[in-house]
């Protein structure tokens, strides 16, 4: 729902980097978006496309890589993918903070990020 | 001095960035938390659906606790001061935060609100987030406790449709339980759904209309016995 402001932050960050390095244009932006970040990649792409017009990013390619949800359990030291539970009544899968190994409650350690991994610039 | 290598005109080069876009908010939240801790203030972030009873819950919490603690309430909404005016009637300090178009409060807005508040004169800050079960979960504000309010009038699917915000919650309030029968929505079912997603969250059923469950909310938030500075 806040894809527009996120796209704006991404573009600002890249523009700063390009300026710092005297680049004339940005060819590629490689973004990592956690599957548990509340960001729709479709909307993010759309907003990005709107905002780059007239900037050195105008012709850039936005590549988005998903980051899986990862959890860690304090009790049994389990670290791995977040557990998905099946709800038979509504036929949906939902994530749970239950440890798949010991049944305790886990902390999320991955999958909520949104970061720019790298950019390709043209001098 | 560092060696300087310049790119030729038109040369293409890759830069590793690892620039975290969401981290800016996490950092601002950590700063808020530190500031609040320094002043011995406990802060609660109240999130929840539109019309679930966030403001009503805050009014009841304020009524119950204002004799005991010095309280400020920050009300987040896109526009208007309706909620802030409602809470201000109870004689506590109120700050209205209008987000304009944003669907959530963020740590930066809270930092601004904290900046304009005399923190030496407070024990408890209650923050009412923008009504929304999606975005507020993602933006931590620096509060000690995160509470999510939903109500039985929203139907039986609210929790499993929005698991992420419930994963973030320390306390979940299921409001309007006096209407449970009329709605055909069971409190127990919703409570089970919350605990399936997040077994650590404390779930309390309330009716802000009758006052049922408010003491249990205070207990769950661990604000029944704040140490006065």
pLDDT tens-digit readout, A27-78: 999 999 999 988 899 999 999 999 999 999 999 999 999 999 999 999 999 9
- Contact in structure between B175 and B143 (CB atoms under 8 Å): no
Structural Rg of chain A based on CA atoms:
18
- Tokens encoding A37: 């970040």
Q: Which of B20, B166, B167 to mutate to test the interface with A (most CBs of A within 10 A)?
A: B167
pLDDT tens-digit readout, A73-123: 999 999 999 999 888 877 888 899 999 999 999 999 999 889 999 999 998
Tell if the CB–CB gap between A116 and B21 is shorter than 8 Å.
yes
Between CA A96 and CA A119 the distance in angstroms is 34
- Contact in structure between B183 and B152 (CB atoms under 8 Å): yes
- How high is the pLDDT of residue B4? 61
pLDDT tens-digit readout, B199-211: 999 999 999 999 9
- State the residue for tokens 């796209």: A7
HEC profile of chain A: CCHHHHHHHHHHHHHHHHHHCCCCEEEEEEEEEECCCCCCHHHHHHHHHHHCCCCCCCCCEEEEEEECCEEECCCCCCEEECEEEEECCCCEEEEECECCCCCCECEEEECCCEEEEEEEEEC
Model confidence at B228: pLDDT above 60: no
- The C-alpha angle A30, A35, A39, rounded to 5 degrees, equals 75
With contacts defined as CB-CB under 8 Å, which chain A residues touch B18? 115-117
Please tell me what DSSP assigns to residue B34: H
- How high is the pLDDT of residue B160? 92
Write down the domain spans for chain B: 25-220
Domains in chain A: ranges and CATH:
3-68+110-122 (3.30.2320.50), 70-108 (no CATH)
- How high is the pLDDT of residue B2? 63
Could you tell me which of B127, B125, B139 has the C-alpha nearest to residue B40?
B125
- How high is the pLDDT of residue A1? 60
- Contact in structure between B113 and B158 (CB atoms under 8 Å): no
Nearest-Cα distance to chain B for A2, in Å, is 7
* Closest-CA residue of chain A to B162: A94
- ipTM comes to 0.73
**CATH superfamily to which B25-220 belongs:** P-loop containing nucleotide triphosphate hydrolases (3.40.50.300)
Model confidence at B90: pLDDT above 90: yes
Measured in whole angstroms, the distance separating CA B229 from the mean position of its chain's CA atoms is 24
What is the band of B42 on the pLDDT scale with cuts at 50, 70, 90? very high
3-class secondary-structure state, position B42: strand
Tell if the CB–CB gap between B15 and A13 is shorter than 8 Å.
no
Between CA B92 and CA A65 the distance in angstroms is 47
- How high is the pLDDT of residue B227? 66
pLDDT tens-digit readout, B185-196: 999 999 999 999
- How high is the pLDDT of residue B109? 93
Note whether A114 contacts B: Cβ–Cβ < 8 A: yes
Buried b (16+ CB within 10 A) or exposed e, B29-64: bebbbebbeebebbbbbbbbbeebbbbbbbbbbbeb
Between CA B2 and CA A111 the distance in angstroms is 37
Nearest-Cα distance to chain B for A67, in Å, is 13
Model confidence at B229: pLDDT above 60: no
Option in B17, B24, B199 nearest A105 (CB): B199
pLDDT tens-digit readout, A1-30: 688 889 999 999 999 999 999 999 999 999
Write out the H or E segment, with its range, that includes residue B115. helix B107-115
Model confidence at B127: pLDDT above 90: yes
- Contact in structure between A115 and B18 (CB atoms under 8 Å): yes
Note whether A119 contacts B: Cβ–Cβ < 8 A: yes
pLDDT tens-digit readout, B141-200: 999 999 999 999 999 999 999 999 999 999 999 999 999 999 999 999 999 999 999 999
For B213, residues 6+ apart whose C-beta sits below 8 A from its C-beta are B173, B177, B204, B205, B206, B207
Between CA B36 and CA A87 the distance in angstroms is 40
Share of chain B above pLDDT 70, in %: 96
Q: Pick the range with the lowest mean pLDDT from A56-60, B3-7, B28-32, B98-102.
A: B3-7
- How high is the pLDDT of residue B3? 66
């Amino acid at each position: 729902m806040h894809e527009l402001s996120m796209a704006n932050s991404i573009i600002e960050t890249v523009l700063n980097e390009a300026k710092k390095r005297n680049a004339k244009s940005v060819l590629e932006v490689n973004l990592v978006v956690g599957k548990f970040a509340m960001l729709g990649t479709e909307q993010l792409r759309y907003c990005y496309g709107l905002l780059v017009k007239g900037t050195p990013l105008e012709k850039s390619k936005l590549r988005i890589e998903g980051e899986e949800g990862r959890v860690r359990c304090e009790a049994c030291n389990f670290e791995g993918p977040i557990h998905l539970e099946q709800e038979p009544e509504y036929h949906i899968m939902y994530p749970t903070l239950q440890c798949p190994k010991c049944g305790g409650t886990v902390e999320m350690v991955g999958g909520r990020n949104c970061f720019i991994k790298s950019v390709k610039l043209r001098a | 001095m560092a060696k300087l290598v310049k790119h030729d005109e038109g040369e293409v080069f890759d830069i590793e960035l690892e620039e975290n876009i969401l981290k800016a908010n996490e950092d601002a939240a950590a700063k808020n938390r530190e500031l609040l801790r320094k002043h011995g203030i406990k802060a609660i972030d109240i999130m929840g659906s539109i019309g679930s009873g966030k403001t009503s819950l805050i009014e009841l919490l304020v009524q119950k606790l204002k004799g005991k603690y010095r309280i400020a309430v920050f009300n987040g909404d896109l526009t208007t001061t309706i909620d802030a005016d409602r809470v201000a009637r109870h004689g506590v300090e109120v700050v209205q935060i209008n987000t304009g178009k944003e669907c959530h409060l963020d740590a930066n807005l809270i930092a601004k609100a904290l900046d304009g508040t005399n923190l030496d004169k407070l024990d408890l800050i209650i923050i009412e987030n923008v009504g929304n079960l999606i975005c507020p979960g993602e933006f931590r504000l620096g509060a000690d406790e995160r509470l999510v309010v939903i109500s039985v009038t929203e139907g039986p699917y609210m929790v499993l449709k929005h698991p992420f915000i419930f994963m973030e919650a320390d306390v979940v309030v299921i409001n309007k339980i006096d209407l449970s029968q009329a709605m055909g929505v069971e409190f127990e079912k919703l409570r089970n759904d919350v605990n399936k997603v997040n077994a650590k969250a404390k779930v309390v059923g309330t009716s802000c209309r009758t006052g049922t469950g408010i003491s249990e909310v205070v207990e769950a938030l661990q604000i029944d016995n704040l140490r006065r500075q």
